[in-house]
Amino acid sequence: MNRIEHNRIDQRFAALKAQGRTALIPYITAGDPAPAHTVDFMHACVEAGADVIELGVPFSDPMADGPVIQKACERALVHGTRLQHVLEMVAEFRQRDSETPVVLMGYLNPIERMGYEVFTRQAQASGVDGVLVVDMPPEEAGDNAALFAEHGLQSIFLLAPTTSEARARAICEHGEGYLYYVSLKGVTGAATLDADAVGEQLNKLRRITELPLCVGFGIRDGATAAAIGRVADGVIVGSALVGRIAEHADDPASVPAALKSILGEMREALDREAVG
Amino acid sequence: MSRFHDLTQLPDARGHFGPYGGRFVSETLSFALEELENIYASLKNDPEFQAEFDNDLKHYVGRPSPLYHAERWSREIGGAQIWLKREDLNHTGAHKVNNTIGQALLAKKAGKPRVIAETGAGQHGVATATVAARLGLKCEIYMGAEDVERQKLNVYRMHLLGAKVVPVESGSRTLKDAMNEALRDWVTNVDDTFYIIGTVAGPHPYPMLVRDFSAVVGREARRQSLEQIGRLPDALVACVGGGSNAMGLFYPFVEDDDVAMYGVEAGGEGVATGRHAAPLTANAPRGVLHGNRTYLMSDEGGQVADTQSISAGLDYPGVGPEHALWKDVGRVRYVAADDNEVLAAFRELTLVEGIMPALESSHALAHAKKLAGEMSPEQHIVVNLSGRGDKDIHTVAKLDGIEF
Ligand SMILES: Cc1ncc(COP(=O)(O)O)c(C=O)c1O
């Protein structure tokens, strides 16, 4: 079976490459500010030009996240959002959108607790395409990655500025879909990012992998998106969106317009680069 | 079942203790952990490094700590003889300093000018601030806001020692949240910062190296037992938060099959109430937190549970991975003591022996009392008196209706 034909992530990146465009990948935390809104927010992201959606599974102890996403997790958890519900949200999203790839992003324990077999089956049935577990590097993924693959779930792995070349080779070998390059040493929401340094690192990585290289951490607006878009195959924007959702938490109906405004700006900036 | 694992040969090369342990961290930290693993591997059997460590333990910490026969208390209980391994007499007042001395030496070898740590009761924070002062290292300590409140004395000690104490307001505002925040700091400052983890948990190689540095307690206790009792004890008892004082006492006895071992977790309001910090006793499901797989208290959705204990140092939802394996293979029996039993033991040892134990250590004492009562006067129990109780005076006084 040729997976490329069946996986939405591979299809999407192939299409973008053919068009010479850079992927725009928003991250939002499922259940923030309340579970009822998440699917609407996902559709709003797509309407604003998102190519892939990273849907955060809220966790009580988000060790790699800064205050913005920590608070989003807290808001989601207060409303009882659990992995089970996140899968239901993806299934609901799929009723109207059968094309946009959805990657679940989060920490290992909710999956561990649900059980790998159960999770994998339900994720596939819900229409999930990829899984990015922040605290599951390839050497700990082992059988789980194989199980995911059997069910058409791609394992997305992280690369960092501190990753050695030997590790990078191993990670690239195990990676599927795309690679998530963490642009800086720090937690999500950290401020500064150096596009030239990122570009240098990506060039090194391109020598060892064909996978699309997407960059996250520190992308906030059209300008930062464009700067990274020049060197990467995709830009991932998280805290900037989640921060916007937080500002509108009292009036969730106004969030889709806010998301469209910030993502729209990024989309335009990226496409301008692609044409220019 | 223990025959499947040679318990002296763990962890494996990737930091696993059977199904437990490992290195579940975000990619940015992998490099630092590999670096630490390599530094430790190069020094572990280096006689010069060991000599430096031993020298510091002797002249700075004041080791060996005595093995004290609590004769009066034993007589009152009317069962086995109770011996106290006096870690409370160490410099800084707890077993924690053994590990921080070792890790500070590693930090020095690694050339890192800054150290960070998480702390619950503040003992590990104080021990870290102490070694940082001595070596001239910059030091930041993360502490849950609730613990800052209940361990004020230690907060001020750290301040005097030149450390910055950062109260952590997220989550349950206790030890686990302090560890989250320390990990976030480390990810951000990984180039110049050494993370001194305070217990046998965290990602590989921490559970292994904290165990190795803590094991001086058990090596001494074993030798002292032979000298003072004339044979090995019948049982060992230690409290278990993350599990470093217990692991430190137990590890050198692991092959002594006739020595029974009891790890005492925090029963809080009672294990049956669900408000406790006793993942092993309560048979919590397997989970992953802070870089390792272990028994972890969490809800059905995998969200980490809030814990409850009178002692800040045991108020943690997980436990070191080696303990998880030792439970499964049956080498150690894990039990719990609830807050009331703990307070009673605290008061009793203070009145009967003139030794004021830490509330953490009082968990071990509470269980030792029960155990001794079921044994004969010819039998011997060694209890790890992991720390002194000065830091807990506020907590106990408050229960007596006294505010300072
Ligand atoms: C005196 C004392 N005993 C025990 C503990 C619990 O830690 P561990 O289980 O790692 O020994 C602490 C932790 O702060 C402590 O201060």
Q: Residues B253-290: pLDDT tens digits?
A: 999 999 999 999 999 999 999 999 999 999 999 999 99
Residue whose CA lies nearest to ligand 1 atom number 5: B313
Residues of A in contact with B287 (CB under 8 A): 109, 112-113
Contact B170 A83 (CB under 8 A): no
Query: Quick check: helix, strand or coil at residue B169?
Result: coil
The shortest C-alpha distance from B23 to chain A (Å) reads 7
Contact A187 B303 (CB under 8 A): no
Q: Which atom of ligand 1 is nearest to the CA of B88?
A: 1
* pLDDT exceeds cutoff 50 at B370: yes
Residue whose CA lies nearest to ligand 1 atom number 10: B244
Residue A137 contacts B where some CB pair is shorter than 8 Å: yes
Q: State the Cα–Cα distance between residues A20 and A275, nearest whole angstrom.
A: 8
CA dihedral B361, B364, B369, B371 (to 10 degrees): -170
Mean pLDDT within B219-226: 99
Angstrom CA distances, A19 to A7, A13, A232, stand at: 19, 10, 15
Q: Which residues contact B230 (CB under 8 A, 6 or more apart)?
A: none
The H or E element containing residue B181 is: helix B175-188
Q: State the Cα–Cα distance between residues A31 and A85, nearest whole angstrom.
A: 9
The shortest C-alpha distance from A159 to chain B (Å) reads 6
pLDDT for B404: 80
Residue B118 contacts A where some CB pair is shorter than 8 Å: no
Angstrom CA distances, A108 to A186, A217, B138, B151, stand at: 20, 20, 33, 32
What does the block give as tokens for A155?
């394992």
Nearest residue in B to A182, CA atom = B28
Contact (Cβ atoms closer than 8 angstroms) between residue A64 and residue B184: yes
Contacts by residues A73-77 (CB-CB < 8 Å, ≥ 24 positions apart): A73/A29, A73/A32, A74/B170, A75/A29, A75/A31, A75/A32, A75/A33, A75/A34, A75/A246, A75/A249, A76/A29, A76/A30, A76/A31, A76/A32, A76/A33, A76/A35, A77/A31, A77/B303
Identify the DSSP state of B231.
Answer: S
Q: Which atom of ligand 1 is nearest to the CA of B123?
A: 16
* pLDDT exceeds cutoff 90 at B5: no
pLDDT for A246: 98
Residue A192 contacts B where some CB pair is shorter than 8 Å: no
Q: Residues B8-44: pLDDT tens digits?
A: 999 999 999 999 999 999 999 999 999 999 999 999 9
CA of B246 to the centre of ligand 1 (A): 9
Pocket lining for ligand 1, CB < 6 angstroms: B 94, 96, 120-121, 123-124, 199, 239-246, 313-314, 358, 360-361, 386-387
Q: In chain A, what percentage of residues exceed pLDDT 90?
A: 92
C-alpha gyration radius of chain A: 17
pLDDT band at B3 (very low <50, low <70, confident <90, very high): low
- Go through chain A and tell me how many residues it has: 276
Angstrom CA distances, B164 to B104, B115, B119, B157, stand at: 17, 11, 12, 11
Q: Which atom of ligand 1 is nearest to the CA of B244?
A: 10
Q: Which atom of ligand 1 is nearest to the CA of B199?
A: 10
Residues of B in contact with A83 (CB under 8 A): 301-302
* pLDDT exceeds cutoff 70 at B353: yes
Phi and psi at residue B169, to the nearest 5°: -95, -5
If one compares A273 and A224, the residue with the highest pLDDT of the two is A224
pLDDT for A4: 45
- The answer to which of A28-32, B35-39, B168-172 has the lowest mean pLDDT is B168-172
* pLDDT exceeds cutoff 70 at A5: no
* pLDDT exceeds cutoff 60 at B2: no
The shortest C-alpha distance from B126 to chain A (Å) reads 24
* pLDDT exceeds cutoff 90 at B403: no
Nearest residue in A to B300, CA atom = A113
Angstrom CA distances, A164 to A204, B34, B204, stand at: 11, 10, 18
Per DSSP, helices labelled H in B200-353 are 206-214, 216-228, 244-250, 321-328, 339-353
**Which of B28, B185, B297 is the mutation pick for testing A, counting most A CBs within 10 A?**
B28
Give residue for tokens 């992927």. A23
Mean pLDDT within A208-229: 96
Contact A82 B302 (CB under 8 A): yes
**Which of A104, A116, A140 is the mutation pick for testing B, counting most B CBs within 10 A?**
A140
CA of B103 to the centre of ligand 1 (A): 17
* pLDDT exceeds cutoff 50 at B98: yes
Q: ∠B113-B24-A157 over CA atoms, to 5°?
A: 100
CA of B354 to the centre of ligand 1 (A): 21
Q: In chain A, what percentage of residues exceed pLDDT 70?
A: 97
* pLDDT exceeds cutoff 50 at A3: no
Helices B152-160, B123-135: axis angle to 10 degrees equals 10
Q: Residues B55-89: pLDDT tens digits?
A: 999 999 999 999 999 999 999 999 999 999 999 99
Q: Is B308 exposed, middle or buried (0-12, 13-18, 19+ CB in 10 A)?
A: buried
* pLDDT exceeds cutoff 60 at A2: no
Residues of A marked as catalytic: 54, 65
pLDDT for B4: 66
Contact B27 A159 (CB under 8 A): yes
Q: In chain B, what percentage of residues exceed pLDDT 90?
A: 96
pTM: 0.97
> Does the interface predicted TM-score (ipTM) exceed 0.90?
yes
Cβ pairs A/B, distance under 8 A? 124
Mean pLDDT within B94-106: 98
